[in-house]
């Protein structure tokens, strides 16, 4: 059996497809979720059935009612032991990665993360579970490196990236049965647990905002973010930052973009006084348009950005804001689907380098 982990509120449709493609001829695809996943199990089962998943195991314990990575990982390890799947796939989200990492460590099994291609080692591409090897391509170093690897084990564990190559395999919709499974969870495993949920005032988060206005060392301090806040608000976006800004206590860690922060794919990313170190770049490189504002035309961010403005952030950002005000307000008020890049274009010079 191939087991798909539903760790977040939404089913990632690529996961059952990949699971079907690596399943042996007589292997079913089943799924596991946790009491704390915010979607009712019946709704998940209906959706999973449409992707050919035969059974949804809901793991129950009072300590699993809120997200708790160690406890969820331990519960998953118990279920792997109980069900004996030959493969376990989770989405390469924060949750999916955390849970599978804990489960792998507890079960003593190898784990391949961030797979963008995954096949069973079988000439036909199907039914390859027999010799226990998966061939995979996965991203390393935040996405700047692709690695080909083989995973051989009695139970193969992998997280699957959103950008995974979706295999074309026959699909037979199933009536997905919901099965509740009680597990033991030692109380000390709930030491890392969601304690409170705070909704953002705008309803936008760093990972979903269409526009992100980010500041780095060049902004000069916490006060330097005030104009960035206003620009973000007028463009219908949120503020982000580099690690220097979080290390200096100018912004909270939840605002950090990058390898050890949040990976974004905004419509427009404005990098103010940010050099564009690799660890920052991998967090913003998937944005559709990148505008860099920097005094140094040789800074990597200036070299890679779609538009680069050579200048002092303390002069350029107020000038952009003044122009937006002169035009009568905010991009958000004028219609948020209008590209924010168009709003800032007058201030933008052609790409440098």
Ligand X SMILES: Cc1cc2nc3c(=O)[nH]c(=O)nc-3n(C[C@H](O)[C@H](O)[C@H](O)COP(=O)(O)OP(=O)(O)OC[C@H]3O[C@@H](n4cnc5c(N)ncnc54)[C@H](O)[C@@H]3O)c2cc1C
User: Residues near 118 by Cβ (< 8 Å), separated by ≥ 6?
Assistant: 18, 21, 22, 134, 135, 136, 137, 158, 160, 164
Q: Please choose, out of 19-27, 124-132, 213-221, 344-352, the segment that lies near ligand X by the rule CB under 6 A.
A: 213-221
Minimum distance of ligand X from residue 98's CB (angstroms) = 17
Q: Is residue 231 a contact point for ligand X (CB under 6 A)?
A: no
**First and final CA of the chain: distance in angstroms?**
53
Helix axes 313-326, 225-234, angle to 10 degrees: 30
Q: Is residue 279 a contact point for ligand X (CB under 6 A)?
A: yes
Contact 76, 103 (CB under 8 A): yes
In terms of residues, how long is the chain? Answer: 353
- Answer yes or no: is 280 a known binding residue: yes
Query: If you search the block for the tokens 């191939």, which residue do you land on?
Result: 2
Among 140, 166, 260, 345, binds ligand X (CB under 6 A): 260
Minimum distance of ligand X from residue 279's CB (angstroms) = 3
Q: Nearest-CA neighbor of 313 among 265, 263, 274, 266?
A: 274
Which of residues 9 and 145 has its CB atom nearest to ligand X in the complex? 145
Which of positions 47-86 make contact with ligand X (CB under 6 A)? none
Burial of residue 18 (CB within 10 Å: 0-12, 13-18, 19+) is buried
- Answer yes or no: is 303 a known binding residue: no
Which of residues 44 and 264 has its CB atom nearest to ligand X in the complex? 264
Which of residues 141 and 152 has its CB atom nearest to ligand X in the complex? 141
Which of residues 128 and 216 has its CB atom nearest to ligand X in the complex? 216
User: Residues near 223 by Cβ (< 8 Å), separated by ≥ 6?
Assistant: none
Helical spans, DSSP H, in 116-224: none
Give CA separation, 252 vs 12, 222, 248, in Å. Answer: 30, 11, 10
Which of residues 4 and 299 has its CB atom nearest to ligand X in the complex? 299
- Answer yes or no: is 57 a known binding residue: no
Q: Please choose, out of 95-103, 115-123, 268-276, 336-344, the segment that lies near ligand X by the rule CB under 6 A.
A: 268-276
Among 239, 280, 289, 340, binds ligand X (CB under 6 A): 280
The arrangement of strands across the sheet holding 87-91 comes to 145-152, 133-140, 111-120, 156-160, 87-91, 2-6, 29-34, 55-60, 177-182
Contact pattern for ligand X over residues 285 through 324, marking x by CB under 6 A: --------xxxx--x------------xxx----------
Structure tokens, 259: 């390898």
Which of residues 133 and 278 has its CB atom nearest to ligand X in the complex? 278
Q: Is residue 274 a contact point for ligand X (CB under 6 A)?
A: yes
- Answer yes or no: is 95 a known binding residue: no
Q: Nearest-CA neighbor of 109 among 67, 69, 157, 70?
A: 157
Which of residues 54 and 277 has its CB atom nearest to ligand X in the complex? 277
Contact 48, 22 (CB under 8 A): no
Q: Is residue 275 a contact point for ligand X (CB under 6 A)?
A: yes
Minimum distance of ligand X from residue 235's CB (angstroms) = 19
CA geometry: angle 62, 65, 69, nearest 5 deg:
105
Helix (H, G, I), strand (E, B) or coil at 335: coil
Contact 16, 4 (CB under 8 A): yes
Among 16, 96, 218, 237, binds ligand X (CB under 6 A): 218
Minimum distance of ligand X from residue 219's CB (angstroms) = 7
Binding site for ligand X (CB under 6 A): 216-218, 242-244, 256-261, 273-275, 277, 279-280, 283, 293-296, 299, 312-314
User: Residue positions in the annotated binding site?
Assistant: 217, 242-243, 256-260, 273-280, 294
Residues making up the annotated binding site for FAD are 217, 242-243, 256-260, 273-280, 294
């Amino acid at each position: 059996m191939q087991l798909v982990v539903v760790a977040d509120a939404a089913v990632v449709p690529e996961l059952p497809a990949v699971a079907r493609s690596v399943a042996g001829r007589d292997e079913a695809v089943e799924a596991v979720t946790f009491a704390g996943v915010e979607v009712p199990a019946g709704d998940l089962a209906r959706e999973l059935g449409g992707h050919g998943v035969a059974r949804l195991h809901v793991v129950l314990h009072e300590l699993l009612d809120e997200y708790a990575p160690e406890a969820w990982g331990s519960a998953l390890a118990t279920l792997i032991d109980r069900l004996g799947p030959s493969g376990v796939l989770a989405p390469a989200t924060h949750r999916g990665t955390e849970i599978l990492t804990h489960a792998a460590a507890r079960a003593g099994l190898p784990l391949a993360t961030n797979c963008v291609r995954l096949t069973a080692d079988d000439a036909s591409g199907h039914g390859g579970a027999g010799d226990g090897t998966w061939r995979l391509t996965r991203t390393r170093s935040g996405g700047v490196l692709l690695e080909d690897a083989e995973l051989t084990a009695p139970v193969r564990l992998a997280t699957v990236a959103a950008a995974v190559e979706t295999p074309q395999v026959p699909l037979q919709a199933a009536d997905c049965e919901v099965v509740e499974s009680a597990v033991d969870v030692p109380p000390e495993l709930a030491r890392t647990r969601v304690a409170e949920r705070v909704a953002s005032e705008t309803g936008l988060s760093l990972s979903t905002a269409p526009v992100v206005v980010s500041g780095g060392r060049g902004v000069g301090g916490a006060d330097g973010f005030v104009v960035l806040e206003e620009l973000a608000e007028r463009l219908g976006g949120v503020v982000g930052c580099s690690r220097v800004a979080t290390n200096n206590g100018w912004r909270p860690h939840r605002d950090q973009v990058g390898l050890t922060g949040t990976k974004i794919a905004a419509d427009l990313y404005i990098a103010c006084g940010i050099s564009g170190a690799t660890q920052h770049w991998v967090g913003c490189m998937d944005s559709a348009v990148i505008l860099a504002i920097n005094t140094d035309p040789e800074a990597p961010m200036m070299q890679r950005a779609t538009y680069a403005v050579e200048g002092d952030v303390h002069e350029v950002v107020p000038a952009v804001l003044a122009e937006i005000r002169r035009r009568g307000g905010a991009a958000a008020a004028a219609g948020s689907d209008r590209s924010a890049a168009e709003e800032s274009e007058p201030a933008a010079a052609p790409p440098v380098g």
